[in-house]
Amino acid sequence: MASPRSQPVTSRFASVPTSPTPTVNAVSTPGAGFTVRPGTAWPRQLAALRAAFEAALTAQDWDQLAVLDKTLQQLLPALRARMHEPATRAQLAQINALYTTMLAAGQAKKAEIQQQINQQASTREGVMAYLQHQ
């Protein structure tokens, strides 16, 4: 009989065995629009995930990007066991490069929103000064 430590711990997201080669059951984060399906080639699934990231970034759908990021984080333990595969490494490198783009876009959007907040505060101060001198 196998010891309890060698048995996989299964949740609705992934099967995470204590062995060094994790496997993944279906991983689906609500709202992600992306599901990892057992038996489907990792490079193809990572390409689909990257495409979902790109679509969300193009739409500036920050909530969707957060959901997709959560999905990717759940996949990382299983992907570590496949880092020796060139196709998997290549897809992860593309996703990593996309992360750099996403971070820059997020920072630019943050700066834009901060500028709008500052403008509104300035306008409010001007209106208040005008009203006090009436």
b/e per residue 19-32 (b: at least 16 CB within 10 A): eeebebbebebeeb
Range of the domain at 112: 40-132
Angle of helix 62-80 relative to helix 42-58, nearest 10 degrees, comes to 160
**Residue 32 pLDDT > 80:** no
Assigned domain for 31 exists: no
- Average pLDDT of every residue of the chain: 76
| pLDDT bracket for residue 78 (50, 70, 90) | confident
| pLDDT bracket for residue 31 (50, 70, 90) | low
**Residue 59 pLDDT > 90:** yes
Is 0.85 topped by the overall pTM? no
Per-residue pLDDT at 10 = 36
**Total structural domains within the chain:** 1
Assigned domain for 126 exists: yes
